[in-house]
Amino acid sequence: MTTHTATPAAPAARRGWGRRLGHSDLLFAIAIAVICAAVLFATVYPLYFVMIASISDPTAVATGRVAFLPKGISFFGYQQIFEDARIWNGYRNTLVYSVVGTLLNLVVTLPAAYALSRREFRPRRPLMLFFAFTMFFSGGLIPTYLLYRDLGLLDNWLVFILPSALNVYNLIIARAFFENSLPEELFEAAMLDGVDYFRFFTTIALPLSKALISLIGLYYLVQHWNDFFTGLIFVRDYDKQPLQIVLRDILLSNQAFSGGAGGAGGSGGAYGQRYADQIKYGVIIVSTLPVIILYPFLQKYFEKGVMIGSVKG
């Protein structure tokens, strides 16, 4: 008898408890969705506004009439940008610096991280200490300039690649990945089959490290793509300047002209005061578009890579 009376009550209690959890879960899901939507809007809208402003009438943009849809569509800014030889020269230089620099970064970082991850490599702790020391202390700008001068790197395209061949932060990420994600039993089994360290690294460790390679490769690529300080300080030959320096010069020249300082030999005078802002927005889109296009193809590996080094249970 007790069994018959308790059996209907238990499901009822569970249904009531489930209804209470359902309402709270629904409110929580709605709150999370609203927060995520707000964050997404705050992240995407500035880029979207730059895109529509680059093809809208500059007067409409300046008066605040452009919010979600372009007005007075005009491609004059892009026409002027693509007719400017500095843009294409800067694009070429930046692509060379980014691709060659990223390949060199991976060639240097991955073997170094693998060697430092091996416990039988006795000097690994002192070496890691020396690497970490450079994250907190540097020689300063003037000693660095003198060093680059003595090495012949001033006005040399290699100044964009060789000094930044290794990023210690990425080295630490790669070292943590090799230590935590590659089982020691895998290495021992390979050694029993006659595989040495180099062959294990090239044939086993690297194929299992696609997420790591994509993650630090993307970090290095963005670092090279956004680098303007190197060209600003160490390069005087304008033909070797990256796209970011060209972007900076166009923005400054058009800003000066739109403020009334152009016209007497200024490079921004050819663009016209009316379309200075349109060219500014267009240059931003042109300079960031390749990296934006690349992100979706690496997103899958990027999501895996950001968890490298996390606590696993």
Query: What percent of the chain shows pLDDT beyond 90?
Result: 7
For residue 87 the two structure tokens come to 């843009």
Across the chain, mean pLDDT equals: 78
Q: What is the pTM of this model?
A: 0.72
Q: With contact defined as beta carbons under 8 Å apart, do 282 and 74 qualify?
A: no
pLDDT tens per residue across span 85-108: 788 888 889 889 999 999 999 999
If DSSP codes are grouped into helix, strand and coil, which group holds residue 73? Answer: coil
Q: Per-residue pLDDT for 197 more than 50?
A: yes
How many of the other CB atoms lie within 10 Å of CB of 264?
Answer: 6
Query: In this predicted structure, what is the pLDDT of residue 109?
Result: 92
**Residue 272: band (very low, low, confident or very high) from pLDDT cuts 50, 70, 90:** low
Query: In this predicted structure, what is the pLDDT of residue 16?
Result: 47
How many of the other CB atoms lie within 10 Å of CB of 184?
Answer: 9
Q: With contact defined as beta carbons under 8 Å apart, do 81 and 254 qualify?
A: no
For tokens 């033909």, name the residue: 239
State the helix-helix crossing angle for 168-181 and 210-225, rounded to 10 degrees: 170
State the helix-helix crossing angle for 124-136 and 85-117, rounded to 10 degrees: 140
